């Protein structure tokens, strides 16, 4: 019995979750920075003539979507890999990665809601 393979897969899955969440957060920051530029353009019209474009909003929404897809893809790959492991390589009391499954789905739902929110704030 060697559960190190399973634990390595868990660490890899958690790394992909962190990466996807970071990309989603970065997308949110980029989208909100575009809002800051639009506010700045209203206050100082001569300072930033190109601030009215929605490129930061579109890029931000794209990054949120990419992070969400990354989390979902990592979840499916992790479940597929764990299913291919022999029973002896899984820890005693293994529940099929239920917590990782729930966390991944929750983060994907949050990512979808965030993308919808950001899309609604585009002018």
Residue ranges of the domains in the chain? 4-120
Mean pLDDT of 52-64: 86
Rounded to two decimals, the pTM is 0.81
Q: Dihedrals φ, ψ of 95, to 5°?
A: -105, 20
| Per-residue model confidence (pLDDT) at position 48 | 54
Tell me the per-residue pLDDT of 80-116, one tens digit each, with 9 for 90 and over. Answer: 998 888 877 777 777 767 888 899 999 999 999 999 9
| Per-residue model confidence (pLDDT) at position 32 | 86
Q: Which of the four pLDDT bands, split at 50, 70 and 90, describes residue 1?
A: low
Tell me if 51 sits within 8 A of 40, measured CB to CB.
yes
Is pLDDT at 7 greater than 90 in this prediction?
Answer: no
């Amino acid at each position: 019995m060697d559960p190190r393979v399973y634990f390595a897969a868990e660490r890899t899955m958690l790394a992909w979750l962190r990466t996807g969440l970071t990309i989603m957060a970065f997308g949110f920051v980029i989208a909100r920075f575009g809002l800051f530029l639009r506010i700045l353009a209203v206050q100082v019209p001569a300072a930033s003539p190109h601030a009215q474009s929605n490129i930061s909003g579109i890029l931000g929404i794209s990054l949120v979507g990419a992070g969400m897809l990354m989390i979902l893809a990592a979840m499916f790959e992790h479940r597929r890999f764990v299913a291919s492991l022999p029973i002896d390589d899984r820890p005693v009391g293994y529940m099929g990665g239920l917590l990782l499954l729930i966390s991944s789905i929750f983060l994907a739902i949050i990512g979808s809601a965030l993308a919808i929110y950001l899309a609604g704030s585009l002018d």
